[in-house]
Amino acid sequence: MATTIDAGTTKSTRGCFYFELVTLKVEDRIYRIPKSVLEEWSQTFKEMFGILPGESAEGSSDENPIILPGCTIAEFESLMKVLLTPTSIKPLTLSEDQWIGVLPALPRAPSPSPTES
């Protein structure tokens, strides 16, 4: 029997391209990012999502985002370009400043190499 996730949606009715989004706030900007991307690249997010309860949890809405202090908009957007641009479809092009901006925004926990399968 399928487990009910939210009103009218069950695990058994979700397609393989059903992404759970997380709301993040960097400086004064709000972002909606696939939760799976954050979990894959950050042990901190993976652990956080494992302990946060459902719909009222931090990151569940624009009104209750996960705030990322110490990260600039430029750094965060550069990191998201790296993590979210499918390089097999479109080559990733970042300026030197954008690549440098990715470094402070990277999670501090060990993560897989983008070239590992």
pLDDT tens per residue, range 43-75: 888 888 877 666 668 898 999 999 999 899 999
- Residue 97's domain is classified under what CATH number? 3.30.710.10
- Total count of domains within the chain: 1
The angle at the Cα of 32, spanning 65 to 79, to the nearest 5 degrees, equals 100
**pLDDT tens, residue by residue, 61-114:** 999 999 999 899 999 999 898 888 776 666 777 888 888 877 776 655 444 445
Residue found by looking up tokens 């946060």 in the block? 52
Is 51 a domain residue? yes
In this predicted structure, what is the pLDDT of residue 14?
A: 79
**In the chain, alpha helices (H):** 35-41, 43-51, 73-84, 96-105
57 falls within a domain:
yes
**Structural domain for 97, as ranges:** 19-105
Provide the pLDDT for residue 52.
61
